[in-house]
Structure 1
């Protein structure tokens, strides 16, 4: 089946974004529809990739960043533009979305993947934030979710708006947090839907993993 968020539009980050290549095909494709990047190495330089300076400025000797370092990295990069910097909690769930080895940290490959996703989400947000207020309303968030390929019930959309809105408005940081969780939970579900039927049986531990870790 075609999974929500894995079809067209911003759900699969298929557009050309700053710092990323157009997606290819083959075994190195990541969930979400775009390809991987060269592995982290000590001799990788800023001449090879513009994102390298942002990452190495805060990464530890292990070549990874934790949530606090990621927050600093993204703030210094200016990717949030005129919007408020990302909160520490949003940075935590960004790492959880791509933390496939459960280290609680993000390597350079994952950072590149996140950068592509953030650019796509930012472009989407700016499209619906037509008055440049830095926030969107609940019906605009519903529109953005639909653009990403998700088909959610009105009840689910209402619950999402209540979770991520402040006085009826959704700020960019909360919008990104919403996008991260939608993608991560969809990916979690998709990996367990072996028959691709949109239906899975979850044991209690699986349920906790999907809802608590992310």
Structure 2
């Protein structure tokens, strides 16, 4: 399902959204949620029994009906592709589904003006509540990196600036991963690390 203004899965065939059924759905595995199985078979457009990045990209939408950013999709895939097959099976899909629904609730909470996107102040408040007290300069960098609409506003075209649901999830996940990587290097917990260029590159490049 897709929540207006917040993003989610597009509706299966017959409900007006992209990512419709390509074949009749088979019965769900024993104990599986039939509705969730129906969503999975809808997303699995080639009938392979697993979902690839491009299939998932077509099925995930933001509240403004734009598709999820492919880099965000790949990040989610890397987090839930437990067997490292390059695709998402049904059980992995169930975990991904719950993860996105949980993030929808987070997004709703911080999108206080109900605009369907996260502005600079809302982003600052969200990251602060998560325990990441970034400087104003860093907040500005995050906003600039993940707000794809900002350039349109500068030219006087397009919707107001803000970070869409998919990019909000991606920004928060990336900041969490970078913070955890820094904490592993900051062994004395003084907020400073001394590492070589090679160590720094290894740390950053090892992140999904």
TM-score (norm 2): 0.61
Question: C-alpha distance in 1, partners of 2:90/2:132?
Answer: 29
Question: C-alpha distance in 1, partners of 2:69/2:172?
Answer: 15
Match of 2:92 in 1: 110
Match of 1:177 in 2: 170
- Helix, strand or coil: the match of 2:133? coil
User: Rg larger in 1 or in 2?
Assistant: 2
Question: C-alpha distance in 2, partners of 1:185/1:199?
Answer: 14
2:178–2:204 CA contact under 8 A, matched in 1: no
Of the three residues 90, 94, 102, the one matched with 1:120 is: 102
TM-score (norm 1): 0.59
Of the three residues 55, 66, 69, the one matched with 2:40 is: 55
Q: CA offset at residue 45 of structure 1? A: 5.3
Query: 1:15-66: per-residue Cα shift (whole Å, max 9, x none)?
Result: xxxxxxxxxxxxxxxxxxxxxxxxxxx9615853532221133336664321
Can you give the 5+ residue segments of structure 2 that lack an aligned partner in the other structure? 1-26, 151-160
C-alpha distance 131-191 of structure 1, shift in aligned 2 (>3 A) = closer
1:66 and 2:52 correspond = yes
> 1 or 2 for the larger relative contact order (CA 8 Å, sep ≥6)?
1
Say what the alpha-carbon RMSD is for the aligned residues. 3.5
Can you give the 5+ residue segments of structure 1 that lack an aligned partner in the other structure? 1-41
Question: C-alpha distance in 2, partners of 1:44/1:191?
Answer: 41
Count, aligned residues: 165
- Helix, strand or coil: the match of 1:51? helix
